[in-house]
Amino acid sequence: MKLDRVGIIGILMIIFGFIILTTGFLNEFLMTVLWPILSGSSDGKTVLLLCIMGSILLINSLIVNSTRIQKKPFMKGLDGKKYLKWTIIIVLFTYAVGIIIELWLRFRFGVSPFTTFISVTPTETSTSITHTHVFKSVLGYTISTLGIHVPSNIHTGSSLIQYVYPLPLIIIVTFPLVYITGLLSLNGRRGVHKLILAFAVTLALISMVDGGLFSQPAMIGLGGLLVIYFLKKPFSVKNLIKPAFIIVLIILAGFAIEIAGSNTHYHDVTVINQVEPLDLTGYNATITESTGNKTVFRMYSNMTDKEIFSSLSNSFKDKSGGFFVSWNLFSYF
């Protein structure tokens, strides 16, 4: 079976992805280069980017160059734009469900939606409305259940599943659907457009699992899907107005949530599933509620949110299941 240049690129990407997975080749370099795209690159995201995009390009090439497949009745009326539309709809639906799960999790424990949840048992995993990992927990749970070995430098987020199950299982349906509709949306397009679309579909898939609507991969991936969808012949800059408006609107909404939820004076911390007394020595904290296996305290600190998350995770590990903590966007400035 023949392969075109797009298919060859796909094979090379897959091979490179497996090399990185097994050897850690060019780790530091790729983390630096892909940081703006993957919102904090890791081995796992890099491998996903290369292997998913590579497989989309390879399968498309095999379909296009297969006389037998091209003669099938369903191929004759295949409308790439229609499948691209469905891809965008399913991606947005998954993002929306992720936000709903985040809100449900906080409502369940009676805390503010403007909080980050950190599960510390058995491993540390964080999630929030602005950067969700609820669907990633399904991936980690599946890998763990199947007994698949994953390198220690790849984080699977499995500790979250106990708090959000079974709602995130919807990703088992939407992820392959987006992959299939995204693959079919490449039909009838030029080589450059196929590369752009495969890249955008891949980033959208990654953001569905890791990050959600307001993450960098989502902005780039969804933006790419929208640009190709609204693209017309001959090309005009006007084709970019609608995609740009939608993406800017989402970015502004993300910033609005971050700013509206920021408390610049203190952090409210809610510890859940507590199994041992908490030692708050070294923290400028006042306990405001302590009932059963739940403790709520107010913490005053000059540390950044990231430093607070790390410090509290170390303090509460093996003493609780996890904790919610209010955020302060301005702590990073």
**Does some domain include residue 276?**
yes
Cross-strand bridge partners of residue 119: 125, 322
**Does some domain include residue 67?**
no
Q: What is the pLDDT along the chain (333 residues), one digit of tens a residue?
A: 678 899 999 999 999 999 888 887 777 777 778 887 887 656 678 889 999 999 999 999 998 887 787 777 766 767 889 999 999 999 999 999 999 999 999 999 999 999 999 999 888 899 999 999 999 999 877 877 776 766 666 677 788 999 999 999 999 999 999 999 999 999 888 889 999 999 999 999 999 999 999 999 999 999 999 999 999 888 888 889 999 999 999 999 999 999 999 999 999 999 999 988 888 888 999 999 888 788 999 999 989 999 999 999 999 988 999 999 999 998 877
**Does some domain include residue 213?**
no
Cβ 300 vs Cβ 266: under 8 Å: yes
Domain that holds residue 295: 267-332
**Does some domain include residue 328?**
yes
**Does some domain include residue 285?**
yes
**Does some domain include residue 19?**
no
**Does some domain include residue 309?**
yes
Closest CA to 52 of 10, 2, 90: 10
Q: Quote the number of domains for the chain.
A: 1
